[in-house]
Amino acid sequence: MSAGAAKALTSSGLQNHFELFGLAPAYLLEVQALEKAYRDIQSRVHPDRFANAGDAERRASLQWTTRVNEAYRTLKDPVQRGKHVLELHGVDVAFETNTQMPTDFLLQQLELREELESALDAKDAARLDRLRAGLRGQQQALEREIGEAIDAKKDYAGAGELVRKLMFLERLDTEIDAAYEGLE
């Protein structure tokens, strides 16, 4: 940064996003129940409902809607939701510092990235499609495993590693997106 600021660790106050929507803090959640609660709350707090209100109400509406959107975004996202549930159980997933992963998983990731690069070099959209389909399957399997570890076994430390794995897959997903853009 021009006048010298370095990025510091983010410390956000811990809020229970599940409570906001009246949901039990489980990893495997009913998406429809979440969506319905989100819409019910939004229809009461959204700024569009206060277009003619005073400044105080408009400000309160903006703050609440912002918070509700943040909570919804977190719970919709499989990685962020996992991180949030674990934090509620006092487990710091520490994505930034904890990069130790099992060797076979890392090797597999390496292979997938090599496949991505060679598909991109060959400008082969069909190969990207296959890579993505395979990745989706892996992601869904991992999400089921995380649900099992957190909701059934209460194995939070074990779940932490699974969430980190899921995050690796998510990064690959973003890279596939970039590759599609590279093809256009």
Partner 1 sequence: MALLQISEPGMSAPPHEHRLAVGIDLGTTNSLVATVRSGTPTVLPDALGRALLPSIVRFAKDGSVEVGYAGQAKQAIDPKNTVVSVKRFMGRGLKDVAHIENAPYDFVDAPGMVQIRTAAGVKSPVEVSAEILKVLRQRAELALQGSLSGAVITVPAYFDDAQRQATKDAGRLAGLNVLRLLSEPTAAAIAYGLENASEGLYAVYDLGGGTFDISILKLSRGVFEVIATSGDSMLGGDDFDQRVFCWVVEKAKLPPLGARDMRLLQVRAREAKEYLTFHGEAPITAKLSSGELVDVAIDSETFCGITQTLVQKTLGPVRKALRDAGLTVDDVKGVVMVGGATRMPQVQRAVGELFRRDPLNNLDPDKVVALGAAMQANVLAGNKPQGEDWLLLDVIPLSLGIETMGGLAEKVIPRNTTIPAAKAQEFTTFKDGQAGMSFHVVQGERELVSDCRSLARFELKGIPPMAAGAARVRVTFQVDADGLLSVNAQEKSTGVEASIAVKPSYGLVDSDIERMLRDSFEHAKADVHARALAEYRVEGQRLIEATRSALDADRGLLSADELKAIEEAVAELEKRLAGSDHRAIKQASDALNRATGEFAARRMDQGIRRALAGRQIGSL
The contact set with partner 1 (CB under 8 A) reads 1-12, 20-22, 33, 36-37, 39-49, 51-57, 59-66, 68-70, 72-73, 177, 180-181, 184
- The separation between CA 33 and the C-alpha centre of its own chain, rounded to angstroms, equals 18
Q: How far is the CB of 139 from partner 1 (least distance, A)?
A: 11
Q: How far is the CB of 154 from partner 1 (least distance, A)?
A: 26
**Nearer Cβ to partner 1, position 48 or 104?**
48
**Nearer Cβ to partner 1, position 102 or 182?**
182
Q: How far is the CB of 76 from partner 1 (least distance, A)?
A: 10
- The separation between CA 18 and the C-alpha centre of its own chain, rounded to angstroms, equals 15
**Nearer Cβ to partner 1, position 67 or 113?**
67
Whole-angstrom CA distances from 51 to 46, 47, 55, 58, 65 are: 9, 6, 10, 7, 14
**Nearer Cβ to partner 1, position 78 or 82?**
78
Backbone φ and ψ of 98, nearest 5° = -90, 100
Q: How far is the CB of 23 from partner 1 (least distance, A)?
A: 10
Greatest CA separation for the chain: 59
Q: Measure the CA–CA gap between 27 and 25, rounded to whole angstroms.
A: 7
Measure the CA angle with vertex 150, ends 76 and 28; round to 5°: 35
* Single-letter code of the amino acid located at 180: Y
Q: How far is the CB of 24 from partner 1 (least distance, A)?
A: 12
Token pair 């956000």 is found at: 12
**Nearer Cβ to partner 1, position 52 or 103?**
52
Backbone φ and ψ of 156, nearest 5° = -70, -35
